[in-house]
Structure 1
Amino acid sequence: MEQFKQIQDLVSPKFTWEVFETVLKKQSNSDKVKLINITLGSETSKGDSYLSTVTRFSVDYTGENNGDSKPFKLHVFGKSLLRNVARRNTYRNSDFFANEIVFYEEIWPKLDAFQKEFNALKTIQLYDEIPNYLCGEFDGSNDYMLLEDLSYQGYQSASRSDALTFERAKLVLKVLSKYHALGYAFKELHPESFQETASKLRETYFHDDFRGWYAKFQHNLSIITLDAVEKELPEVYGNRLKEIFARDYYGEAVALCAPSAKTNFKTIAHGDTWMPNLLIRFDEKKQPVHSVLIDFQLARYATVAQDLLFFTYACIDEDLRANHREDLIKYYCQEFSAFFAQFVPENPNVLTYDAMAKEMKANGMFAFNMTMEAIIMSLLDDHEVPDLDEMQGEEAVPLEIALSIVTLLKTKEKRLKVANIFKHMMDLNYV
């Protein structure tokens, strides 16, 4: 048990052998299990995980039923609260953990049970592009969750600065559309149960309670954004951006993300559809064949347009946006409607391109708020990523100090990336 104690020390004191024994029994469908060996895996790299401490490990064990013993292996991806308490409090670490654990323990089981009830009556295509949740707990001090490590199935995570090709973008949009359509069908057929389920989620980013936490950091982002736009675009774009910054633009995102928002096509949105949260599996010819969504810390009850908007700006580059944006949105709508029609066949075209285009325009300020932060953060060089573990003590540090990115973008290429995204938003009247 010394090996398990080592893992427990890395994960959480709440991660007991009794908890893990239950997990191993369930995974192997065994009455008894015996631990053989635990092997620690690689750690995450600097800047890749602001909100959690990652522990990877593999478990060899035997499972026994009626005297018959068989060997099993389980690869585990563990997420725990940040060990640095000041950093943990600075990033409101436990808020995000609580929301993701609620998703895996309360939201996803309802969605999965809903589709499997249908499948028992009539074979349908199931949505299963989600990590296998093993266990977890949150109490504000010892939060953790364990998922099956999909890297052993060939899935790879993209970096913050990667962009998708057309085929990879379609692969991700197929998965995203199925995920959205499943929740939307559940809401359509069981509205009361859906609302009860969705109400368990808590907004973790755009809420009036978080203005003091985010405002000065967002102001620093606005300085960088305005500098890029004024240096690289005609004056009209800079003037529009100044008008936006003179408004309560954070408040506009708050209103769009509120459960009471009068938006359309609302379901359980992922909330954070950028590159590090998209896993892709490749075949032996290096062709993308499957994708999985991970990290539901920002999950909320919101319009599907928000996920699609953030994906459009954070995951695909300028050329792909210019040449294939409409094609990708149409593909998403077709896949959404096809998956939804399995549950509600009388409405085979529930989501049209025109309806989605209108909804995306109505949620443009959500896209602006999310994208400006994500893109600027993705443009940071390794030496510009703050060493967050240098924080001392237990008190939260103001976010604008913890992420002190007041340096303007130094190269024309980086400025253009920020400026052209704003130009695209403005040209489409999103902002």
Structure 2
Amino acid sequence: MEVKNLKELLDKHIGDSNKIISYQTSNLLSSGENYGSILLRIQIKYQNKNGEEENADWVAKIAPPIPFLWEFFNIPVTFKKEVGVYKVIQPTLNEFGREKGIDNLIEIFAKYNGSRVSLNPNTQDVDRDAVLLMDNLKIAGFESKDRFVGFDYDCTKLLLHDLATLHASVIAFKLAKPNEFKRKILPYLSKDFFFDAGDEQLRHFMETLKGVAVRANPACAEHLPKVEERFLKIVQLYKSEVPPREPWATFIHGDLWVNNVLLKFENGKPVKHKMIDFQLIEYNSPANDVLFLLYSSVELSLLEKHVDEFLKMYHGYFIETLQKLDCDTAQFSYDSFLEECRKVVWEIQLAHLTFMHIPIFTQKGEGQDVSEFGSWTTADIEANIRRMHPVCGQKLQFIIMDFVKRGWL
């Protein structure tokens, strides 16, 4: 992919005293690893103010060139939201943390290096020349986990801690500074992604996945009508204007699974993580992020034993953060959190988890390239199901049976 006037953009953001010598771009990800954008690696050679040669390794995030994906992800709106996470939301929360005596309250976002919405200096509208520049996290030692395996116990613990910190920090800021919250953060958390597909495609997809689940565990067959009922209402659910429930409503990522998390390890243990891809952020229940992260991306063997522990772990970190930020925790009991979990499963997460089995469990190297997307057809569904990793059925049947056990389905 070519980025127009890239050198001009790099010159603007490399630093006033630095001068670009050369740069080269390459694809950062293989086909099928990301559809909401194109990620390019930019290797930059520049001269610093002392005349010395240095290197920088950045990532350029640009919109997918396909009209179907441009509309599907509502790029004109979601691109600006993602830039706002780096330029506004993170600095605002960290300033709030410093006021409470906490340095670097939120450290889970990549370093922002600059952006543009268009080559036209007289517009604020996002067009095909929009670019977001960030540090290349992989060069800094961060790595992705295998999505067919998922996160181990230590990784899950770290992620739940950081996720709880983010969710609770936004809530504490909202309660402490409601006017600033409405002005600085809430505008970026509008619901702007609306999944849309025809009934024929949805039914075909559901019938195919039902077969995958039943082959993995025939006992889940009796519960599949309820799963189908919720899945077939996915369009209405995504388009609904149900107001977020207070006081739990906060910044949610909306798509937090293996590919949107990078971890840094020391001596084999995870010590830091970075969260990426903020196109689907919105103001909603934190239970959405927690359940989607756990059930989509944690090792199945751990889920079979530790879901309750993980939920309690998240809630403990959440309360701890609220207390550090001088926020009254009386409204945020564990029972109240579990009720949020039950509600979001019924409202959206059952359908969300079911649908996301396609990108999560498509065999590596066999996903569709973005250039192949022109619609969402039954042929696409069948092709993707044939590419599924064997663990897909095991994960899907576990989700169904565990939700039944918990009274969430």
TM-score interval (norm. to shorter): 0.7 to 0.9
- Please tell me whether the aligned partners of residues 101 and 145 of structure 1 are also in contact (alpha carbons under 8 angstroms): yes
Kindly report which structure 2 residues correspond to 1:279-318, keeping only aligned pairs within 5 A, or say none. 279-283=262-266, 285-318=267-300
Partner residue in 2 for 1:201: 189
Offset of residue 159 of structure 1? 4.0
Kindly report which structure 2 residues correspond to 1:121-140, keeping only aligned pairs within 5 A, or say none. 122-124=101-103, 126-138=105-117, 139-140=126-127
Aligned match of 1:22 in 1, 8, 12? Answer: 12
Structure 2 unaligned blocks of 5 or more: 118-125
Aligned match of 1:242 in 225, 250, 254? Answer: 225
Partner residue in 2 for 1:191: 178
Give, in whole Å, the separation in 2 of the partners of 1:302 and 1:173: 17
Kindly report which structure 2 residues correspond to 1:42-191, keeping only aligned pairs within 5 A, or say none. 43-64=28-49, 72-85=54-67, 88-89=70-71, 92-116=74-98, 118=99, 122-124=101-103, 126-138=105-117, 139-191=126-178
The reply on whether 1:367 has 2:346 as its aligned counterpart is: no
Offset of residue 174 of structure 1? 1.3
Offset of residue 125 of structure 1? 5.6
Kindly report which structure 2 residues correspond to 1:368-387, keeping only aligned pairs within 5 A, or say none. 368-382=350-364, 385-387=367-369
Question: Kindly, what percent of the aligned residue pairs are identical?
Answer: 19
Structure 1 unaligned blocks of 5 or more: 1-8, 26-30
Give, in whole Å, the separation in 2 of the partners of 1:84 and 1:379: 23
Report the residue type matching 2:150 in the other structure: A
Partner residue in 2 for 1:354: 335
Kindly report which structure 2 residues correspond to 1:270-285, keeping only aligned pairs within 5 A, or say none. 270-283=253-266, 285=267
Partner residue in 2 for 1:4: none
Give, in whole Å, the separation in 2 of the partners of 1:124 and 1:220: 51
- Please tell me whether the aligned partners of residues 164 and 314 of structure 2 are also in contact (alpha carbons under 8 angstroms): yes
- Please tell me whether the aligned partners of residues 114 and 134 of structure 2 are also in contact (alpha carbons under 8 angstroms): yes
CA shift in 2, pair 1:294/1:239, >3 Å: same
Give, in whole Å, the separation in 2 of the partners of 1:351 and 1:12: 49
Report the residue type matching 1:200 in the other structure: Y
Offset of residue 123 of structure 1? 4.4
Report the residue type matching 1:77 in the other structure: V
Partner residue in 2 for 1:5: none
Give, in whole Å, the separation in 2 of the partners of 1:32 and 1:406: 49
CA shift in 2, pair 1:429/1:103, >3 Å: same
CA shift in 2, pair 1:34/1:172, >3 Å: same
Offset of residue 368 of structure 1? 0.6
Kindly report which structure 2 residues correspond to 1:315-326, keeping only aligned pairs within 5 A, or say none. 315-326=297-308
Offset of residue 407 of structure 1? 4.4
The reply on whether 1:224 has 2:224 as its aligned counterpart is: no
Report the residue type matching 2:238 in the other structure: V
Report the residue type matching 1:322 in the other structure: E
Q: Name the SS for the 2:203 alignment partner.
A: helix
Offset of residue 335 of structure 1? 1.6
Give, in whole Å, the separation in 2 of the partners of 1:403 and 1:305: 29
Query: RMSD of the TM alignment (CA)?
Result: 3.0
Partner residue in 2 for 1:267: 250
Q: Name the SS for the 1:296 alignment partner.
A: coil
Q: Name the SS for the 2:188 alignment partner.
A: coil
Q: Name the SS for the 1:430 alignment partner.
A: coil
Give, in whole Å, the separation in 2 of the partners of 1:263 and 1:158: 34
- Please tell me whether the aligned partners of residues 261 and 276 of structure 2 are also in contact (alpha carbons under 8 angstroms): yes
- Please tell me whether the aligned partners of residues 226 and 241 of structure 1 are also in contact (alpha carbons under 8 angstroms): yes
CA shift in 2, pair 1:38/1:325, >3 Å: same
Report the residue type matching 1:195 in the other structure: K
Q: Name the SS for the 1:151 alignment partner.
A: coil
Report the residue type matching 1:289 in the other structure: V
Offset of residue 142 of structure 1? 1.7
